[in-house]
Structures are given as structure tokens and as C-alpha cells.
Structure 1
Amino acid sequence: MTVMLRSEDFVGLWQLSRVITDRLSDQAGTLLGTARFDSVGAGALAYEEAGKLRFGAAPEMEATRRYHWQFGQDAVDVHFDNGAAFHSFVPCGHAQGTDHPCGDDFYQVRYDFTNWPVWQATWHVVGPRKDYVSVSRYWR
């Protein structure tokens, strides 16, 4: 039986590890940091991640990202920090998110909540100047 996760299940601080495999440059990147979910209303979460990103032999740099998650009856709607829609997904089991076209680029995500409270998001991104896979793993 697969359990639907609720906004409260995500609230708090998470460890974050990300591996980015760039097929165009034939390089790999890693990010180590944290992700924090704060409740900002009924079923609404503010997501903020911060970490150290290293890509190939380049110097390490600070990386941050912010999103807004809104839990509805059947899905989570994810928005960029500026309020623009990003994607939606069902927070349980193996969950394919909705696709996100962005100009000439195309983003697809799949979530895996089967080992909760360890979970991950895998992004496949393709476009004229992009061809990479990003796997983010979260744990308490």
C-alpha cells in the first residue's frame, strides 16, 4: 500500500546530495548541502536549498534555489520563487511529474518516495545547449 505524503511530512531541514551528469560536456557535477521546508500556510511550503556546487575541475561555488510547494487534494503544485508555475506531482511511490517546457529546453522529473524518509528527484533536461540528468537525494 502506498501512502500519500502530506505537507507536514516535509517540514524541517533535510540533507541534500545532488549528482549532475552533463552529456554535452562529458562532465559530472556534485552539490552537497541542505534543503529546508517551512510551512507558510495551509498545505503551503517554502523550499530553500543551499550548498556547495562543484562541476568538473572548476572551483567550488555557492548554489541556492527557492520554490513554493502547494499541496492540493491530489497533487503538489511547484512554483518558482517568482510565482510562475513549474510542475506538479503526486507525493507517493514513484511519481512522474508533469513536464516543463522552457523556451527550447524540456524538463522531465520523476520522484521516488518508496524509501521514505529518504527520497529523490531525478530530472532529465534536453535542449539545444542542454543534455543532462540531475539526481537529488534527500534525507533527515
Structure 2
Amino acid sequence: MERRETPRDEFWPVADVLAHLAGSWRVERSVRDLTSGDEGGFTGVTAFRPYGEGDGLLHHESGTFTWRGVSRPAERTLRFLPGTAPGSADVRFADGRPFHDLDLTTGRHITDHPCAADLYRGEFTVRDADRWRTVWRVGGPAKDLLLVTDYAREG
């Protein structure tokens, strides 16, 4: 894959999000509680591997989450299935419940996920063939969080 840098205000279009994400990524996530000012983070690896009949990807994230000075192992699993538009994805939780859509054909995508009384608003941006970022703002009666995750392709 050709590697090219883009200016901060430009995005790197991805024709097929599932093909682009396949493989392993180093993950660095900052987590900030905007009400209390508490900060934490996650460091680990996300692997996107073939799932099902070969038409989707299983996303498995594992690493260490640190919050208020306490570190502990953390992991999560998501399913990335082909979306309704060419090159897009339908992202689901491990149990199959819908999470959000994902279309990076312009290099940037904004999506929402309502969760009980909270609303998760996500922005996905692709910087180049080997770097992408998610920014989730979580708001609700008991939450006011900002999660920023940077992904860098391994190997």
C-alpha cells in the first residue's frame, strides 16, 4: 500500500473499510471524564480477523486500561459486517446487537449510538494507509466522557 501523509484537515479516502481494517493495529486511547476531570487510558492491540463466511471481520481488542491510577486487563470484541453501501460496514456488538454504521469512502465518518439514557457520538478519521482515529463523545444524565483512540498498523 502506498503511504502518504495528509494535512491535519484532510482525510484519506478508503474504498473498502473491511479490506482496509484487516490485520493488527496498535491502540492508544485517552479517556477523560469532562465533569470530574478524571483521566485514564487504554494501551493495547486490536486485531481484525476474518469472521463468518469470510464476508466480515471479528474485531478483538486487548490490553491494559488505567483509571484513577489503577491498571487492569481489558478487552472487547465487535463484529464488522458488510454494510448497505459498497465498501461500508455494519458494526455490531459481540452478541449481534447493532452498534453503528461505518463508511470511510471520504476518509471521515460521523455516527451515533443511543445507549439507554446516553448518546454516543463517534467521529472516525483516516489519516493515511497506516493511521486512523476515533473520537467518541458520550453524554447522558450520568456521563460526560471523551474517548480518543489512535490506531497505527502493526508490521
TM-score by length of 2: 0.82
| Aligned counterpart for 2:55 among listed residues 43, 48, 51 | 43
| Aligned counterpart for 2:124 among listed residues 111, 114, 120 | 111
Q: Which structure is higher in strand share? A: 1
2:79 alignment counterpart: 68
1:56 alignment counterpart: 68
Alignment partners' CA distance in 1, 2:102 and 2:130: 17
**Unaligned runs of at least 5 residues, structure 1:** none
The alignment status of 1:120 with 2:120, answered yes or no, reads no
Per the TM alignment, residue 71 of structure 1 is displaced from its structure 2 partner at its CA by: 2.1
Per the TM alignment, residue 138 of structure 1 is displaced from its structure 2 partner at its CA by: 0.7
Alignment partners' CA distance in 2, 1:83 and 1:102: 15
Q: Deviations over 1:91-116 (max 9, x none)?
A: 2311112x111110000101001323
- Matched residue SS, 1:60: strand
Per the TM alignment, residue 52 of structure 1 is displaced from its structure 2 partner at its CA by: 0.5
Alignment partners' CA distance in 2, 1:62 and 1:3: 32
- Matched residue SS, 1:8: helix
The alignment status of 1:101 with 2:114, answered yes or no, reads yes
Moved more, 123-132 or 71-80: 71-80
Cα 1:68–1:132 shift into 2, 3 Å: same
Q: When the two structures are aligned, how many residues end up with a matched partner?
A: 138
2:6 alignment counterpart: none
1:21 alignment counterpart: 32
2:4 alignment counterpart: none
The alignment status of 1:77 with 2:85, answered yes or no, reads no
Per the TM alignment, residue 6 of structure 1 is displaced from its structure 2 partner at its CA by: 3.8
Alignment partners' CA distance in 1, 2:54 and 2:108: 25
**Unaligned runs of at least 5 residues, structure 2:** 1-11
Q: Which has the higher contact order (CA 8 A, sep 6+)?
A: 2
Alignment partners' CA distance in 1, 2:46 and 2:14: 22
TM-score by length of 1: 0.91
Does the aligned pair in 1 maintain the 2:14–2:20 contact within 8 Å?
no
